[in-house]
Structure 1
Amino acid sequence: MSGWARRTLLVVGACLLTLLAACTDAPVEQPAPPQPAPPPTAVRATEVVVGVDDLGAGFNPHLLADRSPVTQALATLVLPSVFRPDAEGDLQLDRTVATSAEVVSTSPFTVSYELNVQASWSSNSPIAAEDFVYLWQQMRTQPGTVDAEGYRHVTDVRSRAGGKAVDVVFDEPYPQWQHLFSGLLPAQILKDAPGSWTGALQGGLPASGGPFRVAAVDRARGEVTLVRNDLYWATPATLDQIVLRRLGPQTLAEGLRVGDVDVAMPTAGPEVTEALAPLGGAVTTTPAPRATVTDLALRSDYGPLSDVRVRQAVGALLDRERIRAAVAPAALPADAFGLAPSQPGYAPTAPAGGPARTDPAAAERLLTEAGYTRAADGAWTLGNTPLSLVIAAGAERTTDVDVAEAVAEQLRAAGIEVQVVAPPAADLFTQRAVVATPPSTSAPTSAPSSATPSPGTAPTTGPTPAPTTAPTTGSATASGAPATTSAPPSGTAAPNATVRADILVLPRAVGGPLGPQLASAYGCPDPTPTLPAPPALPNGFCSATLQPVLESLATAAVPDPEQLATAERVLWAQLPVLPLFQQVSLLVSTTPGAAATGFGPGPLGTGPLTGAQRWSAPVS
């Protein structure tokens, strides 16, 4: 090879090496690393926050002890009912629960229910005949229930079609049968649960048969959270959740102002009105009577008040208007035993003077006739024994405790020794003797803060066990004269001592059919072969004179006005209870809250949260 050729090859090789080096040293373009996907945007649950006074003692809508606006709301939105009131208050068949309900026989009187095959509890058990059986059995055998009269006329509940059809047999024609079997409870969970009827529902409702379910009850924070029941077979609720939140007047006003609270239903009163005043037109308010009348139940089966003259004297010593003004000034005065003041057709039936009106002269005459004398210091005594009474109110029912204190103040001023106790409400209305817990140290026995149990389980927290011993004194003497009560004067009871209450602050349910309501509140059912010992009323009242009238009213399609008048007249003469007042809520809405919910009183029996499954979330 010539020199020229070699030089050419060397040059070309050098160039190639240079190019190769340049290519090797140049940065290589790499594809951009994949960017992480943006985190999903958190979707805020659509909710409505409802302000309330308190959560109540428990959530069984069939117990007097648990009667409260919150319990009514939960029963309306969570529990299935065969019939529900429409906007006008007329009962309509709820076809999500039963496709038909009709009288199929008059001898014996029999009602047949065909249940919706899709209807089921959130625990996945069907809503079935066993739920009807459970409610019927509890209502006829348990004390302290709400409107039990209709269930006493049921003699059998029969299951058909695998539990999806029910035949209910009555002892006689019962025109008010449509009012029965509302607020059904999950029998499969409750029938074997500890504390079943009273205890198992203090911490919530363990299963739902409605558009919402109870997700949590937090008593420490004062909240009940309802969430959409995703297993509901009918039209689902629009909202994700409803929060019922306990708030005092000032906290409520601030919550409404900043938008943390949408609507509220506190007890109407000057404190709430004053707290809301600075909000002006930013909120709207409407009074709404509640389906509860507060009475003083005067125990008539033992002790001083077993003498009707002493009951009449106590009534004549009390200034009912002053009690109402001190405790519930916005409440409606109650002057009848049947209809509540807010109901159509209500008219006062109270006689002039005592026991409906304060009449010290009549009280002195009655006590003297009953054998009592008044000492120089003004104290009433029977022989050497002071006239001493125990007044009791459920510890969790704060307004009731206030009533008890106001009554005690007036009776002490009149020369009667009084002890005020505040046992758990579930004990007070179901047991003859209760622990003598002073109001200042009483503690609710409701279930502690916790989430509602998962489907298929039930809370085990129950009420305080019944006292194993009770005072043996305090019953009426053989001659009918009152014996002394076993209760010591106020503040002298030993720890864990038990007493029998002479006067109970008693909630009375109103809003149902009048005849059965009267029989439930004041009647004494006869023993039957299947129920030889039916439960007595919380105050032990039973009148042989009144019972036939009540039985006739309970089974009448339309109550006879003359019989109603007779019942009212006998009740004022016998005075098993002294009516006080019908409580009233103040319904409060922000402008967005009102637009989204249409918040209003609703029918008396179902209350302001009626139709909440159709509410929308407020838009600020």
Structure 2
Amino acid sequence: MGRRTWIVLLALVAMVAAACANEPVPPPEVTPTPTATPTTQPGTPTQIVVGVDDLPPGFNPHLLADVSPVTQALATLVLPSVFRVDENGVAQLDTTIATSAKVTSSEPFTVSYELNLEASWSTNAPIAAEDFVFLWERMRAEPGVADAAGYRLITAVRSRAGGKAVDVEFAEPYPAWQYLFSGLLPAHLLKDAPGSWVGALRNGLPASGGPFKVGSVDRGRGEIVLVRNDLYWDAPTVVDELVLRRLDPEDVAAGLASGDIDLAVTTAGPELRTALVGLQPAPRTQPVPRAEVVTLGLRADTGPLRNLAARKAVAALIDREAIRAEVAPEALRADAYGRAPSQPGYTATAPERRADAAEVAALLQQAGWTRTSPTAPWMADGAPVRLTIGAGAERPGDLRVAAAVARQLSGAGIPATVVAPPVVDLYSAETVAPTPPSTSAAPTSGATATPAAAPATAATPTSTPTEAAPAVPAAPTGIAVDLMVLNRPAAGDAATAVASEFGCMSGSATGPEQVPGPTGFCQPLLDALMTELMTPDPRPDLAQAVQQDLWEQAAELPLFQPVDVVVSTPESDAATGVGPGPLLTGPFTGAQRWRPLPSS
């Protein structure tokens, strides 16, 4: 061993000795129990139990079909993200994942990430460049993804330093790059598994890169158990388990009264308010706008609504405010594309007035539709026009929206049928199974649904003679829906959100042809304008012009932003400090620091 090597070794020993003398570092796998934290019986895991509305169809945070508060909670607590947003929606570097992330070149525009050497999955595999590559490739190639426009601008993802450094090159400068590579997924488990993008994440997340990991998912009981990730390299969770339990509003009140649950994150509404009356001490309720907007998509690539005049007429017939008031009266009215109503910078862009009856009739006649009298059903190509509305079978709220839309259209002489396929099929497939809504998902507040044992039929306008609608044909390849209820996630960047929702999905600089969006909407000229919006210096009035054009094209009708409520007791407030949290990460932000409640 040479003299220089000895000098380096002696210097390192001295540095370690000094560090140990001044600031001892505990072993990373030791999980001490805070002395101030009350405990239960020895050996019994400490836990916090949270009531929630329901479990989503799956837990992939990048799928439109899986958008939900529970998916958001798991992504926040289990999956690694390079940046996380603060209360103001500003992206902040998460140094547990990356020690550095910055623009390192302008030609080509390149962002370089230096990953935390300790960051690893709960399988002991490192969080590395392959996870970046996997997410980038899937976001470009899979149907039904959310917020993909930024990934389509990426031309290459290169690994350095044994996978612990990543260089990402873009076709053009992209100022919102900080919002990319959130909710990284374990490539080493998913990249070679057929159908893994959907199938492997249907009943949990196979590995964790955060303070919690998924211990179990019991759909029968409606319960998810998150447990401490013992291989997490940063501060460990205080509680051993975080339990998310499906409960109705009445069960939330009973659970809080009995101590079976500690708090709840559930849909705001009169049922919950009524159920909470009489609880002592009175629980605290905090409104929590969800990170999503419910919209109505109009199919632009096939069927009768591919005609712009017909699409505009049908959109004008739909009373968006009446739907919100009936289905989600506590929700926030949505009158713009790209941003949710609760997001900073939101401005309503909807037209001030809807087309009147005469204007609607003129548009339908322009599309080639006819009717024999003002109360007769509309005809096209010699047959009555019948529209099909799709809503995800797993989403009762969406089914209520679909039923309300069907009634409005039927009342205007356009009978409409509601079908309820699996939501992942609705958002990603060109055709779906003609499955009627089940009676268990029957809408409330006067809405109607077709029993599961009978074929779905159109509602009949009260102003026209009764005419039975034919059963939905059980074609082997399914049917194409004309309208669909969509759940659009709130994004960090409004321009990216608009381009993701309405872009032609074929503008990536490299790679395979992109899949179309759920509605098949594509306007090449508008697509170019939306791409410009994502650049550092778009024209000053371009954002408003794009909004106006989208309303004119009627590709989608924003309806409302759902609002949940956090229900907590004085004890759970003191133990958790729970609040609404940032919009994009939600009320479970910081749950790794929640303490168990005192034993009753």
The two structures share one fold, judged by TM-score above 0.5: yes
2:138 corresponds to 1:138? yes
CA positional deviation for 1:361: 2.9
CA positional deviation for 1:338: 2.6
> What residue number does 1:499 align with?
479
Q: How does 1:240-255 map to 2 (within 5 A)?
A: 240-255=240-255
Name the SS for the 1:278 alignment partner. Answer: coil
Distance 1:496 1:526 in 2: 29
From 477, 490, 500, give the equivalent of 1:520. Answer: 500
Amino acid at match of 1:573: E
> What residue number does 2:367 align with?
370
Q: How does 1:473-492 map to 2 (within 5 A)?
A: 489=469, 491-492=471-472
Distance 1:348 1:361 in 2: 26
Name the SS for the 1:279 alignment partner. Answer: coil
Name the SS for the 1:372 alignment partner. Answer: coil
From 494, 517, 538, give the equivalent of 1:537. Answer: 517
CA positional deviation for 1:489: 4.4
Tell whether the 8 Å contact from 2:152 to 2:509 is kept in structure 1 after alignment.
no
Number of residues paired by the alignment? Answer: 533
From 538, 541, 547, give the equivalent of 1:562. Answer: 541
> What residue number does 2:331 align with?
331
Q: Look at both structures and tell me which one has the larger radius of gyration over its CA atoms.
A: 1
Distance 1:373 1:280 in 2: 62
Distance 1:528 1:344 in 2: 29
Amino acid at match of 1:370: A
Name the SS for the 1:548 alignment partner. Answer: helix
Amino acid at match of 2:499: A
> What residue number does 1:461 align with?
none
> What residue number does 1:160 align with?
160
2:550 corresponds to 1:571? yes
Distance 1:572 1:172 in 2: 28
Tell whether the 8 Å contact from 1:313 to 1:366 is kept in structure 2 after alignment.
yes
CA positional deviation for 1:607: 0.5
Which structure 2 segments of 5+ residues have no match? 1-39, 442-467
Name the SS for the 2:279 alignment partner. Answer: helix
CA positional deviation for 1:495: 7.8
Distance 1:560 1:273 in 2: 47
Name the SS for the 2:233 alignment partner. Answer: coil
> What residue number does 1:238 align with?
238
CA positional deviation for 1:281: 4.3
Q: How does 1:40-119 map to 2 (within 5 A)?
A: 42-119=42-119
Which structure 1 segments of 5+ residues have no match? 1-39, 444-487
> What residue number does 1:301 align with?
301
Distance 2:535 2:440 in 1: 41
Distance 2:74 2:509 in 1: 36
CA positional deviation for 1:223: 0.5
> What residue number does 1:13 align with?
none
The TM-score with structure 1 as length reference comes to 0.83
2:307 corresponds to 1:312? no
Tell whether the 8 Å contact from 1:80 to 1:209 is kept in structure 2 after alignment.
yes
- The superposition leaves residues 221-272 of structure 1 with CA deviations (integer Å, 9 ceiling, x where unpaired) of 0001100000101110111111011000111110011111111111111111
- The superposition leaves residues 109-143 of structure 1 with CA deviations (integer Å, 9 ceiling, x where unpaired) of 11111111111111111111100000000011111
Tell whether the 8 Å contact from 1:296 to 1:504 is kept in structure 2 after alignment.
yes
Tell whether the 8 Å contact from 1:418 to 1:490 is kept in structure 2 after alignment.
no
CA positional deviation for 1:492: 3.4
Distance 1:576 1:551 in 2: 18
Tell whether the 8 Å contact from 2:338 to 2:491 is kept in structure 1 after alignment.
no
Distance 2:171 2:86 in 1: 29
Amino acid at match of 1:593: S
CA gap 1:206/1:294 in 2 versus in 1, 3 angstroms = same
Tell whether the 8 Å contact from 1:417 to 1:490 is kept in structure 2 after alignment.
no
Tell whether the 8 Å contact from 1:131 to 1:185 is kept in structure 2 after alignment.
yes
CA gap 1:65/1:367 in 2 versus in 1, 3 angstroms = same
- The superposition leaves residues 36-66 of structure 1 with CA deviations (integer Å, 9 ceiling, x where unpaired) of xxxx964332111111110111100000000
CA gap 1:198/1:534 in 2 versus in 1, 3 angstroms = same
2:593 corresponds to 1:584? no
From 358, 363, 378, give the equivalent of 1:361. Answer: 358
Moved more, 515-524 or 275-284: 275-284
CA gap 1:221/1:41 in 2 versus in 1, 3 angstroms = closer
Tell whether the 8 Å contact from 1:299 to 1:540 is kept in structure 2 after alignment.
yes
Amino acid at match of 2:119: A
Tell whether the 8 Å contact from 2:89 to 2:492 is kept in structure 1 after alignment.
no
Tell whether the 8 Å contact from 2:88 to 2:344 is kept in structure 1 after alignment.
no
Name the SS for the 2:156 alignment partner. Answer: strand
Name the SS for the 2:322 alignment partner. Answer: helix
From 416, 438, 443, give the equivalent of 2:436. Answer: 438
Tell whether the 8 Å contact from 2:402 to 2:418 is kept in structure 1 after alignment.
yes
CA positional deviation for 1:611: 0.5
Distance 1:560 1:219 in 2: 49
CA positional deviation for 1:285: 0.4
Amino acid at match of 1:120: S
Tell whether the 8 Å contact from 1:436 to 1:499 is kept in structure 2 after alignment.
yes
CA positional deviation for 1:490: 6.3
> What residue number does 1:29 align with?
none
CA positional deviation for 1:548: 2.0
Distance 2:254 2:184 in 1: 38
Amino acid at match of 1:407: V
CA positional deviation for 1:441: 6.7
- The superposition leaves residues 375-413 of structure 1 with CA deviations (integer Å, 9 ceiling, x where unpaired) of 345210014211111100111112111111111111111
Name the SS for the 1:157 alignment partner. Answer: strand
CA positional deviation for 1:578: 0.8
CA positional deviation for 1:365: 2.0
Residue identity (%): 57
CA positional deviation for 1:194: 3.1
Amino acid at match of 1:515: A
CA positional deviation for 1:314: 1.0
Name the SS for the 2:200 alignment partner. Answer: coil
> What residue number does 2:385 align with?
387
> What residue number does 2:211 align with?
211
Name the SS for the 2:428 alignment partner. Answer: coil
- The superposition leaves residues 409-431 of structure 1 with CA deviations (integer Å, 9 ceiling, x where unpaired) of 11111111212111111111111
CA positional deviation for 1:164: 0.9
Tell whether the 8 Å contact from 1:136 to 1:151 is kept in structure 2 after alignment.
yes
